[in-house]
Amino acid sequence: MDIQSLFSLEGRIALVTGGSRGIGKMFVEGLLAAGCARVYISARKVEQMQATIDEFGSEFGADRVIGIPADLSQMDGMVALANELKARESHLDILINNAGAAWGQPYLEFSEAGWHRTMDLNVKTPFFLTQKLHDLLVAGGKQGHPAKVIHVSSIDGQRINPWETYAYQASKAGVIQLTRRMAARLIQDNIVVTSIAPGAFPSEMNRAAKDAPDASASGIPAKRIGTAEDMAAAAIYLCSRAGDYVVGETLTVDGGVVNAHLPNHFADPSGGGH
């Protein structure tokens, strides 16, 4: 058993949506480090995307990280991104649907605009972008390994958080079920669909973890927030030969918040709090 080849992504072509910052940027770095020949980044903010390309280009090679500006909140943006990628590549080995949105508002004030924006980008876009890239992914699955699609969900789709982010939590729960349904269909074309559910990682979407990591860590069983290595490792596992037999699953990467967080009266042997 060759461990190096088991986790290698040597020569593969990848696309990471929302790859210019936060968790998306962590994925990009991991894919490049694992050997991807080219990693495409899509983002709305061109300057921010270019900064990420310049940063990783100097480390991994300017020809290995490529930006394509795209607004994936609209169908024409998805079609344009798919068409641009088809003009550049004959196949796609890895698609990470990372672009997303969050919206918090009190229940009685929660707006339809916030609902649509969050549900569209978090649930509609992963489905339809994958659909538009289907031919490239099928071709990727003929390269001697399955093509891989990873949807980025969230632990907020697995449990209730303290904030009034109704559409966000509903959308991320929907992504987890969408992963199962799409996996059942796409495995027929040698395309493996999975999901990653991050916990607290520093990003613009998770300002608490970014701005106050110690406070965030206090509620996490592992007693720290996630790092780029944690997120990159999850993606490399699922995208490489190591994850070929993992179909339709959601990999929770959260330091134990969902599955190892004990209520206070269990954590305290004295039963304190009652």
| Three-state SS at 266 | helix
Q: Supply angle C-alpha 10, 98, 233, rounded to 5.
A: 45
User: Distance between CA atoms of 245 and 190, rounded to whole angstroms?
Assistant: 11
Query: In this predicted structure, what is the pLDDT of residue 207?
Result: 61
Query: In this predicted structure, what is the pLDDT of residue 219?
Result: 85
User: Distance between CA atoms of 47 and 54, rounded to whole angstroms?
Assistant: 10
In a domain, 273, yes or no: no
Query: In this predicted structure, what is the pLDDT of residue 216?
Result: 76
Domain of 91: which CATH number?
A: 3.40.50.720
Catalytic positions are 168
Tell me the pLDDT tens digit for each residue of 14-24: 999 999 999 99
Q: Is residue 137 pLDDT above 90, yes or no?
A: yes
Tokens of 259: 């599955």
Tokens of 174: 């929907």
Closest CA to 165 of 110, 239, 83: 110
Tell me the pLDDT tens digit for each residue of 39-78: 999 999 999 999 999 999 999 999 999 999 999 999 999 9
Q: Is residue 93 pLDDT above 70, yes or no?
A: yes
> Which domain covers residue 127, as residue numbers?
3-251
Query: In this predicted structure, what is the pLDDT of residue 264?
Result: 57
In a domain, 59, yes or no: yes
User: Distance between CA atoms of 104 and 23, rounded to whole angstroms?
Assistant: 20
Per the confidence metrics, is the pTM higher than 0.85?
Answer: yes
In a domain, 162, yes or no: yes
For residue 77, the Cα-to-chain-centroid distance in whole angstroms is: 19
In a domain, 241, yes or no: yes
Q: For the chain, what is the domain count?
A: 1
Query: In this predicted structure, what is the pLDDT of residue 179?
Result: 98
